[in-house]
Amino acid sequence: MSSPSVLVTGGAKRLGAAIVRRFAGAGWHVLIHCNRSRAAAETLADDLPSAEVVQCDISDLDDARSFISTLADRIENWQCIVNCASIFEPDDVTGLDPATNLQAMMINAAAPTLMAQTFLAQARSNGGRRVIQITDQKLANLNPDFFSYTMSKAAADIAARMMAMVTDADDRVYTLAPGAILPSHDQSDEEAQRSHLLNLLQRRTDGNEIADAALFLAEGPLASGQSIYVDSGQHLLDQPRDVIYLEREGDGA
């Protein structure tokens, strides 16, 4: 396979699917990772010029490592992994829920870190290797909501920056931090439309902008360790709560 390959975790739906479409449109062979969304992943793959579906429950770290090793054995030109799979569940800053925390830390932090390490150790590439960890603008614009989710994204961010310090000359590790883009948690479409305007530009950031940024990181000249925020300036604000609740409480103005 002469074209470069990219693995997008959580690639069947939402931001992951937008990233998959963008890479496929740029001539990449896309591996669409899913866990329980195989039907959606296969439907997406059928619409693309070069794509396949790969399935793994990445909450099992042994399975996640083996999954990457197996792909590395058979893919000849694997140039990029985009770790987009994530869970976003609420728990309280004054009372951490152990089950919620464990799941968030495993799926949002430990698994993508382990998968990135395995990819960098084993994947074969004709043009260097790129790791793109999807984080969140929330890390620069902290609020106390979604406590374990935020902890896990912070851990993933720190791990990516540490890995970037020791990459080989041809390899890069990046973070990509979206803002509020798609309906989250229990939001309706109408609530999302209003809450997603709560940024400096007072516009709704589009998922395709995240996909464009991911492709730029995969193909562009940035040095390892850099991060891109795609959030219409949301990370430059000081918002006391998640925009879900700011909109509901009428405090977003």
pLDDT digits 0-9 by tens, 117-132: 999 999 999 989 999 9
Q: What is the pLDDT, as a whole number, of residue 16? A: 97
Return mean pLDDT, the chain. Answer: 95
Tens of pLDDT, residue by residue over 155-214, are 999 999 999 999 999 999 999 999 998 887 788 999 999 999 999 999 999 999 999 999
* Contacts for 155 with CB less than 8 Å, ≥ 6 apart: 105, 108, 109, 110
Are the C-beta atoms of residues 90 and 146 closer than 8 Å to each other? Answer: yes
Predicted pLDDT of residue 250? 86
Return the CATH number of the domain spanning residue range 5-249. Answer: 3.40.50.720
pLDDT of residue 220: 94
Instruction: Show me where the domains of the chain are located.
Output: 5-249
142-168 pLDDT tens trace: 999 999 999 999 999 999 999 999 999
- pLDDT band, very low/low/confident/very high, at 240 (cuts 50, 70, 90): very high
Q: In whole angstroms, give the CA distance from residue 178 to residue 241.
A: 17
Q: How far apart are CA 86 and CA 109, in angstroms?
A: 9
Q: What is the pLDDT of residue 185?
A: 78
Give me the pLDDT at residue 183, please: 85
Query: Average pLDDT, stretch 26-45?
Result: 97
What is the pLDDT at residue 161? 98
Q: What is the pLDDT of residues 12-22, one digit of tens each?
A: 999 999 999 99
Mean pLDDT of the region 83-98? 94
User: What does the pLDDT read at residue 1?
Assistant: 53
